[in-house]
């Protein structure tokens, strides 16, 4: 895989299970996988070595008895049983693999159905948390809640924050299964999916909510914004930057603070479809490229204006020496 997977420590299992259950076809595949796994276990356990018949015959002879008359039929019985078990396993093994492939496909194709289950939960959390947070005010710790006589509001706010955090965890897991190549379904989240959800799948119009840092509106797709210049018709960004790391005001590391932010009147929290999510990312990146190009074109010291060929490539102006030589030739002067 191209992205390192990060283990998700805790999830709201009922919420995630309800979301996954909304994926049409998933339940049938999971039931079939359980049945196939059990039959594979039985088939592999049914295989017996033919040497068992030899051991029985040897024990009989050593005890003074005769060689059993049915050693041949017993070997044939074991052999036929083994062949049947091997034949069943040879079918069930590939069947299990194909079912797992189909399960992965269902997660990619039906992720929007699962995400739809999270939206009412988000609406409920925000609608219930809003009044509680208003009563809680700027209380930000249990001690402060005790001092302000708002213990009940604090407990309710913490519970709401936990529900909100579980919802975002489930969202990341579902998106990761849809956008990241995997070998099996798990509660793991790729770095790509985490960034996608955190940057564009938490609030609408994310660019509007970046705070001003040092008087400059931080509104860039890069984690660090380097100097942008035009070189040979292309945008080139330097690796270094004096500007600060781009903050996410809805992802502070404190779940209660995150909930406070998404409950603000000017913020539109959402659980977008996969298409809306990637579309928001693509629009953001296109806008940043346009802004960077406009900024770079106005920067002094960049390359002079170049002529654009019909093919879209750029041609630098001819050197002065070439122009002088052509002029001399035109005038009939020796070069």
Angle at 319 between CA 316 and CA 321, to 5 degrees: 170
Each residue's pLDDT tens digit, 263-316: 999 999 999 999 999 999 999 888 888 877 777 777 655 554 444 445 555 566
244 or 140: which leads in pLDDT: 140
Q: For residue 202, give every residue at least 6 positions away whose Cβ sits within 8 Å of its Cβ, in sequence order, or none.
A: 168, 250, 251, 262, 269, 270
Helix, strand and coil percent figures for the chain, each rounded to 5? 60, 5, 35
- In this prediction, residue 240 carries a pLDDT of 41
- Provide the mean pLDDT of the chain: 81
- In this prediction, residue 21 carries a pLDDT of 94
Work out the average pLDDT over 186-213: 85
pLDDT of residue 123 exceeding 60, the answer is yes
Tokens describing residue 220: 């860039």
pLDDT of residue 48 exceeding 80, the answer is yes
The candidate with the shortest Cα–Cα distance to 201, out of 174, 230, 236, is 174
Name the band, by pLDDT with cuts 50, 70 and 90, for residue 326.
confident
* pTM for this predicted structure: 0.70
Name the band, by pLDDT with cuts 50, 70 and 90, for residue 106.
very high
pLDDT of residue 133 exceeding 70, the answer is yes
Specify the 3-state DSSP secondary structure of 188: strand
pLDDT of residue 175 exceeding 80, the answer is yes
């Amino acid at each position: 895989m191209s992205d390192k997977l990060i283990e998700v420590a805790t999830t709201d299992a009922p919420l995630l299970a309800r979301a996954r259950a909304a994926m049409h076809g998933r339940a049938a595949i999971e039931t079939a996988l359980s049945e196939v796994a059990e039959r594979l276990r039985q088939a592999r356990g049914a295989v017996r070595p033919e040497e068992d018949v030899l051991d029985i015959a040897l024990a009989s002879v050593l005890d003074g008895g005769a060689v059993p008359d049915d050693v041949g039929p017993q070997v044939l019985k074991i052999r036929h049983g083994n062949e049947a078990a091997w034949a069943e396993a040879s079918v069930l093994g590939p069947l299990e693999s194909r079912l797992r492939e189909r399960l992965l496909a269902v997660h990619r194709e039906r992720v929007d159905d699962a995400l739809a289950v999270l939206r009412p939960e988000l609406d409920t959390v925000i609608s219930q948390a809003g009044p509680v947070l208003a009563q809680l005010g700027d209380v930000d710790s249990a001690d402060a809640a005790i001092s302000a006589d708002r213990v009940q509001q604090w407990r309710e706010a913490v519970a709401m924050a936990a529900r909100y955090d579980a919802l975002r965890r489930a969202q990341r897991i579902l998106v990761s299964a849809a956008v990241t190549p995997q070998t099996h379904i798990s509660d793991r989240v790729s770095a790509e999916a985490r960034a996608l959800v955190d940057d564009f799948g938490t609030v609408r119009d994310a660019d509007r909510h970046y705070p001003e840092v040092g008087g400059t509106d931080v509104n860039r797709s890069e984690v660090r914004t380097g100097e942008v210049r035009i070189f040979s018709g292309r945008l080139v960004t330097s690796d270094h930057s004096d500007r600060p790391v781009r903050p996410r005001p809805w992802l502070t590391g404190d779940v209660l603070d995150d909930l406070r932010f998404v409950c603000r009147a000017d913020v539109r929290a959402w659980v977008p479809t996969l298409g809306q999510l990637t579309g928001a990312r693509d629009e953001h990146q296109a806008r940043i490229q346009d802004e960077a190009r406009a900024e770079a074109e106005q920067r002094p010291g960049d390359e002079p204006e170049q002529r654009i060929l019909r093919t879209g490539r750029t041609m630098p102006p001819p050197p002065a020496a070439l122009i002088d030589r052509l002029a001399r030739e035109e005038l009939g002067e020796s070069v």
